[in-house]
Structure 1
Amino acid sequence: PVTRFTFPDGHSIYLLAEGRLINLGCATGHPSFVMSNSFTNQTIAQIDIRNNPDRKVGVYRLDKQLDEEVARLHLGKLGAKLTKLSEEQADYIGVPVDGPYKPEHYRY
């Protein structure tokens, strides 16, 4: 919903979604696919924390291999099929055959 407010001087403003969040008020919110990726990342991060009790309390990036596992788990929904890199392909792009497939400096 769009509401137009006109001021006495003739200027107008438009208020979208009664001032609520646009993605929720004027659409359907986050698509379930996006939510699934987000929740899977959070769940895998929690499992990683549980499996590493000696890690100091802090903020960490999700390990690249775990992050790529989240992507692998969702490929079917996109109709994609994952193949394995050959040694030649892996050498060409400078990554291990089994991943991770992005350099350490890359941030998702």
Structure 2
Amino acid sequence: VLAQMDLWNSKKKVGVYTLSKELDEEVARLHLKQLGAKLTEMTDTQAEYIGVPKKGPFKPDYYRY
């Protein structure tokens, strides 16, 4: 549903699109929450160590969603 809302709000032409990393990770967080998983927020030290922004996206640019 979040992807549909994003497509509607961005007024894109009919076609096939790749979800943004941010939207894909938000969908994953919500899905895991519904499954009962408890995710914690990454610390500044952890984010710096693995070289990603603390709030994401967490996958490298070459990763295809």
TM-score range, shorter chain: 0.7 to 0.9
Give unmatched runs, 5+ long, in structure 2. Answer: none
Normalised TM-score (structure 2):
0.80
CA deviation after TM superposition for structure 1 residue 79, in Å = 2.9
2:39 is the alignment partner of 1:87:
no
CA deviation after TM superposition for structure 1 residue 49, in Å = 1.0
Q: Give the number of the structure whose residues are more often strand, by fraction.
A: 1
- CA distance in 2 between counterparts of 1:89 and 1:70 reads 22
Normalised TM-score (structure 1):
0.52
Higher RCO (C-alpha under 8 Å, 6+ residues apart): 2
- CA distance in 2 between counterparts of 1:59 and 1:84 reads 32
Q: Sequence identity of aligned pairs in percent?
A: 63
Task: Name the Cα RMSD after superposition.
Answer: 1.7
1:44 match = 2
| Structure (1 or 2) with the larger CA radius of gyration | 1
* Secondary structure of 1:47's aligned partner: helix
